[in-house]
Chain A
């Protein structure tokens, strides 16, 4: 069965620091990739998605992610984090031609210190 791994469970950064959250998946076929964010007490919101084309994807709020097929990775980055980025971040994978259900990673809790 496919799986999605987020190796960083908790990350603590100071404001203005750069962020990179890792995401790896275990599936050799075509996939669609997503990053969702869950702010405290709120619902999941889509940050960005990759379907095809340019492997560097830009999302909302200054986030971007790079799809590296050879490494089965889709890492999330932001050059300068803000206190308001404190949230939990989830990577998700959808298998091509396997319906629209998502397989999520375990999540990474990010705390940004002001």
Chain B
């Protein structure tokens, strides 16, 4: 158990819908990262938040957005869902923002878009 929690574990929805994935970082960690793992794209970095502010952005679609709340939990919002958005979404956390430090990964949320 890494200490990073993600809910829900599984999510099944239809195209065009909107979903929210939730992540709680390890106690004391200020940074949260979101990654998408799909069969065709592999494991890709989406976005990072540090202490409530966006710190880095990767291959995140405009239909996707995220935020980090004052209690440091983070939510990833996916809207206008397409079949290709079906993937495993991982959240990771680390102590710091820019300095290199180990990221601890959560168990992931498996999203299936039908």
Contacts and interface: CB of A to CB of B under 8 A. Distances in A.
Interface of A: 32, 36, 42-46, 49, 51, 90, 94, 96, 99-107
Closest 8 CB pairs of A and B: A104-B43, A44-B105, A99-B56, A101-B45, A43-B105, A106-B42, A43-B107, A101-B56
Given A100-B96, A100-B103, A104-B42, A45 B2 contact: yes
Contact of A107 (B43, B100, B105, B106): B43
Contacts of A43: 2, 4, 90, 105-108
Contacts of B94: 100
Contacts of A42: 107
Contacts of B58: 101
Given A43-B106, A46-B102, A100-B48, 14 more contacts: A43-B2, A43-B105, A43-B108, A44-B90, A44-B92, A99-B97, A100-B56, A101-B56, A102-B33, A102-B45, A103-B45, A104-B35, A105-B42, A107-B42
A32 B103 CA distance: 13
B10 interface: no
A76 B97 CA distance: 27
Interface of B: 2, 4, 31, 33, 35, 42-45, 48, 55-56, 58, 90, 92, 94, 96-108
A102 B103 contact: yes
B22 to A, nearest CB: 15
Contacts of B108: 43
Contacts of B107: 42-43
A94 B98 CA distance: 11
A100 B98 contact: yes
A76 B96 CA distance: 27
Contacts of A90: 43
Nearest to A103: B45
B34 to A, nearest CB: 10
A91 B94 CA distance: 18
A94 B45 contact: no
22 contacts: A32-B100, A42-B107, A43-B106, A43-B107, A43-B108, A45-B105, A46-B102, A46-B104, A51-B100, A99-B48, A99-B55, A100-B31, A100-B33, A100-B48, A100-B56, A100-B98, A100-B103, A101-B56, A101-B58, A102-B33, A102-B45, A105-B42
